[in-house]
Amino acid sequence: MPHPTRDASSGGVAITAAAAAHTGHDHRKESRSQCRTGREDGRPERRRGKSKSRRSSKNSGPGRNRPKVEQERKRRERKRASVVFPTYSHVFKGPAPTSTVVQAASFASTAEWEHMPRAERESRDASRRAKRDLLSRVLESFGERQKPRDDIEYGKPVLFKVRGGALLPLEPADLARCTVLDVDLLRIKHPSSPDKGLVCNSSKSDCPVFVLAPRDPALETLGVGDADFNARIVSALEDVTRVQKSGTIRSCEIVCEGRYTGSFGVVVPRGEAGTRQFSYHKDKLGDEVYDLVVTYVRRLEDVFVSYIPEEVLWYMEAAKRVSNYKTMQSSNCDAAKSARIFSSLAVAKNATLASHKDIDFVYSLVTVLLKNYDPEKDRDRVVAYFVFPDANVSVPLRHGDVLIFNPRCQHSVSSRASEDDTLLCLSLYTKTSHIGGNDNGQVISDDVVNLSNKRRAYLEKS
């Protein structure tokens, strides 16, 4: 999308004779005015004395601009805190080596900025402003609820369903221990057109709650607007769920058909130090199917990079330089076909996830794909909702939609909008444990320790 430009000659305004005639400019009136006032510009001379002091006392004073100054100070502090301690990023607090690496990685972008040459800073600022300007033209903005809802009790699983949609396949006893709410209990937000997206701004920081990518550009990037390619991707994802040994254990209630599959890609093994580059899915699926999924992940990352603020990308780039954490790779580790940001994915068929928060290091991404997708019938049809209870928003999802969200906010995947649909829900994530390396026996460098200490000092000052 081209950026607007400003003509260099637009800074000045030339008044021609015709323009003067059009404005009714009369030199004779000017002469008469000058005679009356004694000023060449025809304006009356300013009075001196008490009236001036009275005007000054009304319009000026030590406290006149204090509220605006205070608001600006708070805005700057909030922005600074959003960069140094972003609300979307979970950081371990302990002194163990794994925690130290995470702390250093989370502070790396701030440390780099402080030591960056002025020219590079200015270049980054220009890049950031250009990206924000572009996003402001393609993303329709609104705010989250200022105060989280107090009528939703998270003491038991909170599930969301679509009124008149698919039923939750739970036994009465299981339903009784859950709170089931309709998605339209919250605000439902749609973009105004397929070439527009949404951004929900946070009331607590400069980090958005979520970004819904514009639909048409996302479908073009992903290729799933084509029924044949979509069938290949859906088939590969179904294969992933089939070879899953057992359902991945989550901290939230999950209702799905078959096994919920997590930790595809980089694995953080339980009871074992370190991380593994490839999950067992690679051997069970074969390189061709595994690489097809990873290549699709790379396309999803392209959408992520296009619609997330530049600060988030700098945060992850700096974290990568410090921690050297693993991302999803193709079978031959071809960089052009591998992930750059996300470490793992999760996928489930016909899934409903209870409201929860995740311990991720960066924004997560979710997308939904219809099996047997028909572009003529299904392109603009809502198939499910992604729900943010505290923000008081339900986001309608259509086939191929890409939603980027803050995993530290309460979020949920609703039931399907139609019982007749078969829906694959795919999410990408990088856990904080991926960043730390899952190894408290690792030897960490002095640079990493110093970055962790600097972050601690910033926390103490703030």
pLDDT by residue, tens only, the chain of 462 residues: 444 443 443 333 333 333 333 434 444 444 444 444 444 444 555 555 444 444 444 455 555 666 767 666 555 555 555 557 899 999 999 999 999 999 999 999 999 999 999 999 999 999 999 999 999 999 999 998 767 677 888 888 999 999 999 999 888 888 889 999 999 999 999 999 999 999 999 887 888 999 999 999 999 999 999 999 999 999 999 999 999 988 666 667 888 888 899 999 999 998 899 999 999 999 999 999 999 999 999 999 999 999 999 999 999 999 999 999 999 999 999 999 999 999 999 999 999 999 999 999 999 999 999 999 999 999 999 999 999 999 999 999 999 999 999 999 999 999 999 999 999 999 999 999 999 999 999 999 999 999 999 999 988 887
CA dihedral 15, 17, 20, 22 (to 10 degrees): -110
- Token pair 């926390």 in the structure block, residue: 459
Instruction: Give the C-alpha separation, 148 to 406, whole Å.
Output: 15
User: Which pairing describes strands 179-182 and 411-413: parallel, antiparallel, or unpaired?
Assistant: unpaired
Give pLDDT, residue 456.
93
Reported as type and span, the H/E element at residue 6 is none
* pLDDT tens digits along 55-97: 444 455 555 666 767 666 555 555 555 557 899 999 999 999 9
The strand pairing partners of 211, in sequence order, are: 199, 404
Does any domain span residue 83? no
CATH number, domain at 196? Answer: 3.60.130.30
Does any domain span residue 445? no
Reported as type and span, the H/E element at residue 171 is none
Give pLDDT, residue 80.
56
Does any domain span residue 12? no
Answer yes or no: are the C-beta atoms of 197 and 397 closer than 8 Å.
no
What is the DSSP secondary-structure string of 126-173? HHHHHHHHHHHHHEEEEE--SS--SS--TTS-EEEE-TTSPPP---HH
Does any domain span residue 284? yes
Does any domain span residue 385? yes
Radius of gyration of the chain (CA): 28
Query: Helix and strand tally (H, E) in the chain?
Result: 15, 14
Give pLDDT, residue 85.
86
Instruction: Give the C-alpha separation, 431 to 109, whole Å.
Output: 18
Does any domain span residue 413? yes
CA 367 to chain centre: 14
Number of alpha carbons in the 13 Å side-chain half-sphere of residue 340? 16
* Total number of domains in the chain: 1
Give pLDDT, residue 379.
93
> Phi and psi dihedrals of 73, rounded to 5?
-65, -45
Alpha helices in 354-445, H assignment, sequence order: 375-378, 432-436
Q: With b meaning 16 or more CB within 10 Å and e meaning fewer, what string describes 316-349?
A: bebbbebbebbbbbbbeeeeebbbbbbbbbbbbb
Does any domain span residue 74? no
The strand pairing partners of 344, in sequence order, are: 265, 429
Domain containing 218 equals 125-436
Does any domain span residue 233? yes
